[in-house]
Amino acid sequence: MRFEAHGLRSGYGSVPVLHGVSFCVAQGEIVALVGRNGAGKTTLVRTMIGLLRATGGQLRLGGADITRVPPSRRVRAGLRAAFQERSLFSQFSVGDNLRLSGHPPAEHGRVLGMFGESLAGREAQRAGTLSGGEQKMLAAASALASTASILLMDEPTEGLQPSNVGLLGDALALARQQGRGVLLVEQHLALALRLADRFVVLEKGEIVDTGTAGEAGLGDRLSGRLAL
Amino acid sequence: MDALTLELLNGLSLFATLAIVALGLGIVFGLMGIINLAHGEFVMIGAYVAYVTHANGLSHWLSLPLAAVVLFVLGACIEVGLIRRIHRRPEVTILATFGLSICLRQAVELIFTKDFRGVPNPVPGATRALGVLFPTYRYVLIGIAVVVVVVTLLAFTRSRFGLTVRAIVADRDLADACGVRTGIANFCAFGIGAATAGIAGALVAPLGAIEPQAGLAYLPGAFLVVIVGGFNRLWGVIAGALVVAAVQTGVIHFYDAVWAQIASLALAVLMLQLRRVPVEAANP
Ligand SMILES: Nc1ncnc2c1ncn2[C@@H]1O[C@H](COP(=O)(O)OP(=O)(O)O)[C@@H](O)[C@H]1O
Ligand SMILES: [Mg+2]
């Protein structure tokens, strides 16, 4: 299954943010989406999952046009997102959050164990009372533990301690190994360079550069793009 | 002392009626962000179900479940045929449900004419309790209304369906992105909202005239309850009905019904000032 965006446009009300974005994520690859704050990365993720309406262009999942399909059907078709913000129901328990994401109680132990001991046994705690990093891990674990074939991860390492960044990297690599496709929005180039197969640079709602892992001078080029 | 007891019972009866009439309005607004101006017509149609039940020689009590079923089906059809197509646009839903309320009134008028209909009181007479005589049917009404409201709210808060629905209230986008079928939840929520209105209509049928315009009388009070109770909290319906019933009963006791209406309006304005975030909070 392949996820494709063709000339995707989107924005908020009358304010356009994405001005025709085209790229794709195939199964078995990690595509890093990098760009400065406000470049439109989150907007792109929210448009891909269907929370923002595409004002132009097309989205295709496994060949089928899903541009006008509601989010819940995209999810059932194999797409899954872990959002940068508001990624959990903060008033609900950790267990209820997992149930809502489609994980039956029998699976909760496995999902919560994905990041070592940090989340283990926290099912009854209210999600909003987890620390920022723990919330990110829970959202990431919930997406990774799903059966989705394409994962959209919006800055999953934000606020994570280095050891957990490592665990997350391993989990993403495993997802790729399982033949899933990952769009990884990432500010930390080191992790992106370590993991990703391909790179897409977004600037002011347009793709201004792309690259492939192992390309000569890629790291310098990307950090140049992200610098002021 | 007895006068006060009587006022309390009147207040309680008003509370129960307000709560069950507003329940569906609150559910539909809280869960779907829809201001349903046809809600009063659902209540009116529930009363007509009671009338038809009576006209066919059946027991009044049978009309309560019958009204629930009829209105669930009607509500579900309206959700699929109308609301679903427009529900992301609040201003359009207001116009559409306003139009719908006119259509429903006209349809009822075509079938039943404008004539006033009535249903005899299934438990006539009064019961002496706490030192005062109070109509027995009103005790029954209070009991049934409270049970319906509490059971409905428990269903929405305790079951798996309830969890889904509460997730939609808390964050519709996130629920959508979790793969929750917000469409089916909307369908059920609208149907259940209409069903409770139907029960309310059948329940109040023996207390007044049944006619096509009857629903109009219920809408302002129900809105007031939802506004006072809060937009995004289902249990707010109970709190809202308590406050509105207390204010109305109190003002009627010390002044008169006109001042009670004025006080209600002032309360609505005050609560709207305090709450600020009505429509977009429920429906981004
Ligand atoms: N809800 C919103 N309403 C209006 N503008 C928004 C909203 N969210 C984001 N934006 C604007 O869209 C642009 C892109 O934001 P975003 O996609 O969040 O960037 P990134 O995730 O790359 O940091 C920014 O200029 C931001 O101000
Ligand atoms: Mg972002």
Percent of chain B exceeding pLDDT 90 equals 52
In a domain, B246, yes or no: yes
Looking at the partner chain, which of A75, A87, A91 has a beta carbon nearest the beta carbon of B179?
A75
pLDDT at res. B278:
46
Q: What is the number of structural domains in chain B?
A: 1
In a domain, B126, yes or no: no
Domains of chain A, start order = 2-226 (3.40.50.300)
Complex ipTM: 0.88
- Residue A15 CB-density burial (10 A; 0-12 exposed, 13-18 middle, 19+ buried): exposed
> Residue B178 and residue A100: Cβ atoms within 8 Å?
yes
> Residue A100 and residue B171: Cβ atoms within 8 Å?
no
Per the CB < 8 A criterion, the answer to whether B128 and B122 are in contact is: no
In this predicted model, what pLDDT tens digit does every residue of A173-218 receive, in sequence order? 999 999 999 999 998 888 999 999 999 999 999 999 999 988 888 8
Average pLDDT of the residues of chain B: 88
pLDDT at res. B1:
67
Percent of chain A exceeding pLDDT 90 equals 82
DSSP assignment of A133-196 equals HHHHHHHHHHHHTS--SEEEEESTTTT--HHHHHHHHHHHHHHHHTT-EEEEE-S-HHHHHHH-
> A-chain residues within 8 Å CB-CB of B88?
none
Mean pLDDT of B134-162: 91
CA A206 to ligand 1 center in whole angstroms: 14
Is pLDDT above 60 for B34? yes
**Cβ–Cβ contact A101 with B under 8 A:** yes
pTM for this predicted structure: 0.73
> A-chain residues within 8 Å CB-CB of B183?
70, 72
CA A47 to ligand 2 center in whole angstroms: 12
> B-chain residues within 8 Å CB-CB of A91?
170
Confidence of residue B282 (pLDDT cuts 50, 70, 90): very low
- Distance from the Cα of residue A16 to its chain's centroid: 22
In this predicted model, what pLDDT tens digit does every residue of B128-145 receive, in sequence order? 888 889 999 999 999 999
pLDDT at res. A214:
86
pLDDT at res. B276:
62
In this predicted model, what pLDDT tens digit does every residue of A148-163 receive, in sequence order? 999 999 999 998 989 9
Residues 36-75 of B with CB under 8 A from A: none
**Cβ–Cβ contact A131 with B under 8 A:** no
**What's the domain range around B101?**
2-121+132-282
β-strands A30-34, A198-203: how paired? parallel
Mean pLDDT of B28-44: 89
pLDDT at res. B253:
80
- Distance from the Cα of residue B93 to its chain's centroid: 18
In this predicted model, what pLDDT tens digit does every residue of B42-92 receive, in sequence order? 999 999 999 999 999 999 999 999 999 999 999 999 999 998 888 777 789
**Cβ–Cβ contact B186 with A under 8 A:** no
Rounded to 5 degrees, φ, ψ at A18 are -100, 130
The residue of A66, A72, A111 whose CB has the most chain B CBs within 10 angstroms, and thus the best one to mutate to test that interface, is A72
Smallest Cα–Cα separation from A99: which of B158, B171, B180, B233?
B180
Kindly provide the b/e burial profile for residues A84-93, where b requires at least 16 CB atoms within 10 angstroms of the residue's own CB. Answer: beebbbbebb
Average pLDDT of the residues of chain A: 93
Confidence of residue B169 (pLDDT cuts 50, 70, 90): confident
Q: 3-class secondary structure for B128-195? A: EECCEEEEHHHHHHHHHHHHHHHHHHHHHHHCHHHHHHHHHHHCHHHHHHCCCCHHHHHHHHHHHHHH
Residue A19 to chain B, least CA–CA distance (Å): 23
What are the DSSP E strand ranges found in chain A?
A: 2-12, 15-26, 30-34, 56-61, 64-65, 79-82, 150-154, 181-185, 198-203, 206-212
Which residue ranges have their beta carbon within 6 Å of ligand 1?
Answer: A 12, 15, 17, 35, 37-43
pLDDT at res. A116:
82
Rounded to 5 degrees, φ, ψ at B126 are -130, 155
Is pLDDT above 80 for B284? no
The number of CA neighbours under 13 Å toward the Cβ of B105 is 18
pLDDT at res. B264:
81
> Residue B179 and residue A76: Cβ atoms within 8 Å?
yes
Is pLDDT above 70 for A54? yes
In a domain, B141, yes or no: yes
**Cβ–Cβ contact A49 with B under 8 A:** yes
Give, as residue ranges, everything with CB less than 5 Å from ion ligand 2. A 41-42, 84
Percent of chain B exceeding pLDDT 70 equals 95
Q: Which ligand neighbours the alpha carbon of B280 most closely? A: 1
Mean pLDDT of B229-254: 84
> Residue A51 and residue B183: Cβ atoms within 8 Å?
no
Mean pLDDT of A55-68: 95
In a domain, B229, yes or no: yes
Is pLDDT above 80 for A228? no
> B-chain residues within 8 Å CB-CB of A89?
167, 170-171, 174
In a domain, B127, yes or no: no
In a domain, B9, yes or no: yes
The number of CA neighbours under 13 Å toward the Cβ of A176 is 19
User: Cα–Cα distance between A187 and A193 in angstroms, integer?
Assistant: 11
**Cβ–Cβ contact B184 with A under 8 A:** no
- Pick A24 or B183 by higher pLDDT: A24
